[in-house]
Structure 1
Amino acid sequence: MRKTTLAVLSIFVVVMLLQFACRKVDSLTPVDNPDSEWLSGGSQTAFDQGSGAFSHAFSSLPANLERIHEIGDAQFNATFVSAPAPLNPGLGPIFNNVSCGSCHVSDGRGKVPGLGESAANMLFRLSIPGEGEHGNPVPVPGYGDQLQTRALFGKQREGDVTITYTETGYKFADGTSYSLRAPTYTFNSLYMTMPGNVLLSPRVAAPVFGLGLLEAIDENTILTNADPDDKDGDGISGKANIVWDVYSQKKVLGRFGWKANQPNLLQQVAAAYNGDIGITTFLFPKESSEGQTQFDSAPNSKGYELSDSLLYSTHFYVRTLAVPVRRNVTDSKVVEGKALFTSAGCIKCHKADMRTGVDVTLPQVSNQLIHPYTDLLLHDMGTGLADNRPDFLAGGTEWRTAPLWGIGLTQKVNGHTNFLHDGRARNLMEAIMWHGGEALSAKNKVNNMSQKQRDALISFVESL
């Protein structure tokens, strides 16, 4: 009897899922079709609203590519150890973490450390004033461009950073109170004296799902939205970052990272292996510690540590992670919040609709109507959020518009609601109220909303 009941229930669930999926997939193309809003990643949308929502492969991969995705998944979560070792050798000698998945937990967002916790899901970019050979930030002598907070046994880490917060109270126009916490970063346990003019930029790990779709957006589509001189006079002057492509040895459009300082996913992955874990690849064959006074600065004589096939499998894994489906799209409160999001001007940077180009190497990302809520451009966010550290063309107050898709599932997947580049915002409203610069007008409109309107606005963002 129990087996019969379960069988009937299973058939019912399958039928309902098929009906739901067919109704949505049928509405992929028209931008003005409300049903298409459900499909944040176009046909590469995952129908999961639980703790695994960020970790699904594209739905239409053939078996051979599914296998590559699986290998990349294992590699993304592989724990590296010091060499020699039969499996995953090469860690360090200095590093920030031991695996990709240790920072990007469940392929999601990093968390700022609590009292007494290490900054395992954060990293700290370093540089000194000036420009490098390719317009890049200038590394700090003896430290490089990233503070390495951990080291192998018998080695000395570069140092650590203590984070303290100053709380300041504010009021919305209707008298409702809120507060923002401003972080202060202090170096400690440094292995050698740090120059007095060091520029520091803290970064939390960003979600990695949907990146293949963002990479597939045609460059001209991104540049069309750029208006660096604000010629239309709307107060929004998004600009492109132009960065160095290590493989092609030329300057190209940047689109990944908090300041759009990486040109493509392959370089993003290889740079993270090198800078965060101390793993060398064909793109970055030198140890991250090279040139630092506590280590032998000779080039790695044994060749690079991660094979091309494993690097490419990790790259393919990140490239083929699906985007979670929207929730509550037709809910009246969410609909109201969407209208407020638009009228406040948030939509000018967090653009809802993009269409990918044609990629013959991966048809699954081609010609997709997606809803990432980003323009992938740099915007001046004001002095409150400034790190005062230039990165190629990105100024000290400029940040790339963060994609908002999936943001409402952060609590379910990652167990926290820390937002912005350094995790200072403890919820979505705090993140909004930190906006300044080009976003000041939008923030002021939110400040003047009623409590009911603010609740609707947050409901909309949580639905993404």
Structure 2
Amino acid sequence: MPRFCLLLLLLCAQRVLAAEDREAFNHPLPDLSAGQQVQFFEGRTLMHQSWIVAPSQDTQHDGLGPLYNQLACSSCHPKNGRGRTPDRRDERLQSALLRLSLPGPAGAAPRPHPAYGEQLNEQGIPGVPGEGSVFIDWQMQSLSLDDGQRLTLRRPRLRIVALAYGPLQGALTSLRVGPTLIGMGLLDAVSDETLHAMAAEPKPDGVRGRVNQLRGEDGQLRLGRFGLKANAPNLRQQIANAMLGDLGISSSLHPQQNCRPAQRACRAAPTGGEPELSEAQLDALTRYLALLQVPPARAATPATRHGAQLFMRLGCALCHRPQLRSGAQALAPQLAGQDFAPYSDLLLHDMGESLADHRPDYEAGGRDWRTAPLWGIGRIKAINEHSQFLHDGRARDLQEAILWHGGEAQTAQRRYRALSAQDREALLDFLRSL
């Protein structure tokens, strides 16, 4: 074969592989039934749907706002992957948001800010002023690893401007990036008993782990599984929370509009129905996210096998557990009774003062975060064209994410800093293989 033709074939093959990598979070589970396929594709359409202002002839997709952050779910979860925070100080948030609350009693739901609620909605439909704008100034700090290598980390400093409904006096704020959405059906099916058992296990190195117990309006306690502070008990609730908070779309779980008492134009705006998201649409979104397939880890190499051993030896797996098992109560039969590898325990851990947002959420304290699942983490750069990690996108690569770990993860972080450069790269290779 002529050299030119061979090079052309290799280039085409690389492009096909790159395209497959970019779509790796968009595939359904194999062997779906006909009914499951229908719901999956209905949910995928809703995931990418740009919602519109009511009233509209398209009564199925109107009701945006009156206050909102983005027009579509996929805006904060592009290709079902991670959002990002702006790198430039003049760039507005696109796939990130700002949570708000006031200090309240321990163990309770966040107390909404009287003028702005639980989330700053930067956009408003015509006639309704958006609540304000958020910009980020990055503050840099340096540190050294044990072998003398010097690194620079960055920390976000918020600038909140053009507030339309008065000052944010006394508000607790928390910058959040849209997380990846794969494997949520399996996480939904982890039983309460499994969560309690993991929390009760004795662990070395000062690692603990707690469940977040959520007391609903009916007085019942439920365990949190979803959200960066495990503040949602199941996938359906998480979706309804996001639809209201991010898009201003009401549902049976959140029938009221996202308007505060003083926001008169917001309260007077027309709605897209009561509720705006139908039960069938909520079901379709739930099934779609539940049936998304987790892409397999890449083939192991000597370096990634060594990195996996280091992952265990350093203590990373105490929180980022390599194996969980789903229970019998699952959103689809394919998801029940499965062993899977999320690299998470879904528990709350004190991550130290450096990562603290000081914003409690039920029993999650201001330094607590749910262990982020690591599956698919090595594909983020190909899918989302960035390599930002952690809850607010401050880490610009996986090494920075590790170095921000404190609190219960402080011992594992120190062990990482003491590794040789070769061992650090092997551990990072392992993470990139997931």
TM-score by length of 2: 0.91
User: Which of 230, 250, 263 is matched with 1:260 structurally?
Assistant: 230
| Partner AA of 1:68 in structure 2 | Q
Equivalent residue, structure 1, for 2:150: 177
1:188 counterpart residue number: 161
**Structure 1 unmatched ranges of 5 or more:** 1-12, 14-47
> Is 2:101 the counterpart of 1:127?
yes
In 2: Cα distance, 1:232 partner to 1:313 partner: 40
Judge conservation of contact 1:241–1:254 (CA < 8 Å) in 2. Answer: yes
- CA deviations over 1:363-390 (Å, ceiling 9, x no partner): 1001111000000000000000000000
Q: Which amino acid aligns with 2:185?
A: G
**Stretches of 4+ moved more than 6 A in 1?**
298-301
2:116 and 2:260 in contact (8 A); partners too: no
Counterpart of 1:108 in structure 2 is: 81
Which one is further off, 281-290 or 74-83? 281-290
Alignment of 1:145 with 2:113, yes or no, is no
Question: What is the rounded CA distance, in whole Å, between the counterparts of 2:125 and 2:267 in structure 1?
Answer: 17
**Equivalent of 1:306 in 271, 277, 285:** 277
**Is the 1:286–1:299 contact (alpha carbons within 8 Å) kept by the matching residues of 2?**
no
2:414 is aligned with 1:441: no
One-letter identity of the residue aligned with 2:32: L
Match of 2:30 among 59, 67, 81: 59
1:429 to 393, 399, 405: 399
Change (3 A) 1:232 1:362: closer
Deviation at 1:111, TM superposition (A): 1.1
Which residue of 205, 212, 217 maps to 2:185? Answer: 212
C-alpha distance in 1 between matches for 2:308 and 2:82 = 24
Q: Secondary structure at the match of 2:65?
A: coil
8 Å CA contact retained: 1:137, 1:390: yes
1:216-365 → structure 2 map (5 Å cutoff):
216-227=189-200, 234-245=205-216, 250-295=220-265, 297=267, 302-329=273-300, 331-359=301-329, 362-365=332-335
1:143–1:292: 8 Å Cα contact kept in structure 2? no
Counterpart Cα distance in 1 of 2:122 and 2:262:
14
Mapped to 1, the partners of 2:411 and 2:119 lie a distance apart of 34
**Range that drifts further, 383-392 or 86-95:** 86-95
Query: In 2, are the aligned partners of 1:290 and 1:299 still within 8 Å (CA)?
Result: no
Ranges in structure 2 where 5+ consecutive residues have no aligned partner: 1-12, 14-18
The answer to whether the Cα contact below 8 Å between 1:72 and 1:313 also exists between their aligned partners in 2 is: yes
Shift in alpha-carbon separation, 1:232–1:447, aligned structure 2, 3 A: closer
Matched ranges for 1:61-100 at <5 A: 61-87=32-58, 88-100=61-73
For 1:16, the equivalent position in structure 2 comes to none
- Does the aligned pair in 2 maintain the 1:351–1:374 contact within 8 Å? yes
Q: Aligned partners of 2:333, 2:182: CA distance in 1, in Å?
A: 18
Of residues 163-172 and 386-395 in structure 1, the stretch that sits farther from structure 2 once superposed is 163-172
1:298 to partner: Cα distance: 7.5
Distance in 2 separating the partners of 1:370 and 1:200: 34
1:374/1:49 Cα in 2 relative to 1: closer, same or farther (>3 Å)? Answer: farther
Does structure 2 retain, via aligned residues, the 8 Å contact 1:374–1:403? yes
CA separation in 2, counterparts of 1:296 and 1:193? 15
Tell me by how many angstroms 1:194 deviates: 2.3
> Which position in structure 1 is the counterpart of 2:109?
136
Residues 349 and 85 (structure 1), Cα distance of their counterparts in 2 relative to 1, 3 Å cut: same
CA distance in 1, matches of 2:278, 2:341: 35
Q: CA deviation at 1:170?
A: 1.2
Matches of 1:290 and 1:317, distance apart in 2 = 32
What SS is found at the alignment partner of 2:103?
strand
Tell me the amino acid that sits aligned with residue 388 of structure 1.
H
Q: Which amino acid aligns with 1:120?
A: Q
The structural deviation recorded for 1:205 is 0.2
Distance of 1:452 and 1:258 partners within structure 2 = 32
Could you list the per-position Cα deviations for residues 301-340 of structure 1 after superposition, in whole angstroms to 9, with x for gaps in the alignment?
A: 85211111111101111111110110032x0000111111
Q: Which amino acid aligns with 2:130?
A: R
2:348 matched to 1:375?
A: no
Secondary structure of the equivalent of 2:223? strand
Contact 2:76 2:178 in 1 (8 A): yes
Cα distance, 1:338–1:49 mapped onto 2, change above 3 Å: farther
Aligned-pair RMSD on alpha carbons? 2.0
Match for 2:359 among 389, 392, 408?
389
**Larger CA deviation: 405-414 vs 294-303:** 294-303
SS of structure 2 residue aligned to 1:129: coil
SS at match of 1:271: helix
Secondary structure, counterpart of 2:102 in structure 1: strand
What residue identity is the alignment partner of 2:28? A
